[in-house]
Amino acid sequence: MFVDEAKILVKAGDGGNGCVAFRREKYVPRGGPSGGDGGHGGSIYLEANPNDNTLLRYRYNREFKADRGRHGEGSNCTGHSGSDLVLQVPVGTLAYDEQTGETIADLAVPGQRVLVAQGGRGGRGNQNFAKPWHQAPREHEDGFSGEERHLRLELKLLADVGLVGFPNAGKSTLISVISAARPRIANYPFTTLEPNLGVVNADGGTGGHGTELGRTFVVADLPGLIEGAHLGAGLGIRFLRHVERTRLIVHLIDTSDSNVDDPVHSFQVIRGELEAFSPSLVEKPMIVVATKRDATTDRTRLEELQAFSREHNLEFHSISAVAGDGVKDLVRSIADALDKIPRPAHETTLELRDTTGEIDENAPGHDSHPAPIKNS
C-alpha cells in the first residue's frame, strides 16, 4: 500500500533529576555533598532510508517516545542518559510542525538525519551547589522535559521525469516498456491508483561484463488527471506533489481513433490542472507525446497537436508504446533534455537544529531557562 502522508506525535525523553547526597565514610570527616547529576533524555531523529518508498509504517503506529534519563545517585554518580530514537522515512520526505506549520526538514539525501525533538537535560545534583560559604547544600535541580511535537510527514517521490496525462493516455504502458516497472495496465480509466517509479537506461547498456550503463534517469508514472481534478474530481490532485521534484514533465496525449477528445483541448485541460495546483509546475520543461500511433488512422488531430506544440516551442514526439515505434527516440530526447537541466541542490529546508546528538546548551527550555532549584 502506498502512503504518502502521515501525522505522528514525537516525545523526547525527560532529563533525570539531580540527587541530594553526602559522602559519609569512616575516617572521612565532613565528606561534603556527593549528589550526582541526572542523565539527559533521549532525542528523536528522522533519517532518510533509500530502501523505503512509503510512509505506511506511520499510518497505524503514530506515537513515538524516547527513553528518559535516569536520576542521579550518591557518590557523585551521574544518571544514565536515555537512548536516542531514530525513525526511518523514505528519501524525499518533508517534515512539518503540525501546530505552527513550520518546515522542519527536507530529507532529500539518503542517510540524512535531522533532529526533530530534543531530549531534556538532566538536573544538577547538590555537588554543583557547594561554595566556600555554603559547604553542605541541599539544593538540587529536577530534569528538564523533553520536547514534544506533532509532526506531519509528507512524501514527495524523487524522480527526474514525471508522466502526466488523462486516464488511459498510455502512461503505464510506456513506463512498462522503457523500464522494469510493471504497473497495472487495463483498458479502463484510473487503472493506476498510486505513483509508479521506473529506472530507464537511455543508451542501452546493461552495466554487466564491463559494459557501461550509460545515462539513466528515474521516471514517475502518476495517476491520471481529469478536468476539475483541483476541485477533487477523479483521484484529485493529491499525487501532483510528486511532480514538484521532477526536472522534466512528459505530457502524454491519446490521439488514437477511439479517443473522441480534441488533443489540443486535452493538453490545455491538464496544463490548467497543473497550474491550479502550483504555478511552478507549468514553468518546468515539458515534452508533448502523442500516444497510440498504431491505432491512429486519421492523422488530422495528430498534426494539429504537432502544430500546436511547435507554435508554443514544445518538443513533440509521436509514439506507439505497444509496437515500440518512436520509443527509443523519445527516451534519448528525454535524456538529452535532462542533460541540459541542472540537478537541484538538495538541502534541508530549515536547518534549525543541532544534529550531533549532543545537548544544545543554548536551546530554548534548557540553560537559557534554568530549572527551579529545590531544597531537600
The pLDDT tens digits of the residues spanning 287-325 come to 999 988 888 888 888 889 999 999 999 999 998 888 888
* For residues 258-277, average pLDDT: 85
- The pLDDT of residue 29 is 80
DSSP 349: S
**Mean predicted lDDT score pLDDT of the chain:** 81
Give me the percent of the chain exceeding a pLDDT of 90.
30
* 335 & 360 share domain: no
The pLDDT tens digits of the residues spanning 91-132 come to 888 899 988 888 998 888 889 999 999 999 999 999 999 998
- The pLDDT of residue 60 is 84
Pair 121, 367: CB distance under 8 Å: yes
* 93 & 186 share domain: no
Please provide residue 42's backbone torsions phi and psi, each rounded to the nearest 5 degrees.
-70, 145
Query: What CATH number does residue 111 fall under?
Result: 2.70.210.12
- The pLDDT of residue 354 is 39
* 121 & 185 share domain: no
* 279 & 264 share domain: yes
* For residues 366-375, average pLDDT: 54
* 85 & 128 share domain: yes
- The pLDDT of residue 208 is 44
* 33 & 148 share domain: yes
* 324 & 210 share domain: yes
* 76 & 94 share domain: yes
Instruction: State how far Cα 330 lies from the chain centre.
Output: 30
The pLDDT tens digits of the residues spanning 1-60 come to 567 788 999 999 999 999 999 988 888 887 889 999 999 999 999 999 888 878 888 888
Q: How confident is the model at residue 136 (pLDDT cuts 50, 70, 90)?
A: confident
* 96 & 127 share domain: yes
CA dihedral 322, 323, 328, 333 (to 10 degrees): -60
Query: What CATH number does residue 249 fall under?
Result: 3.40.50.300
Count how many residues are written for the chain: 376
H helix or E strand, kind and range, residue 345: none
Sole residue written with cell 502506498: 2
- The pLDDT of residue 352 is 37
Least confident of 45-49, 136-140, 225-229: 225-229
Highest average pLDDT, of 117-126, 133-142, 159-168, 169-178, comes from 117-126
Q: How confident is the model at residue 215 (pLDDT cuts 50, 70, 90)?
A: confident
Structural domain span for residue 222: 161-340
* 189 & 332 share domain: yes
* 2 & 127 share domain: yes
Number of domains in the chain: 2
What does the angle CA 192 – CA 193 – CA 198 come to, to the nearest 5 degrees?
55
- How do strand 196-201 and strand 286-291 relate by DSSP bridges? unpaired
* 282 & 367 share domain: no
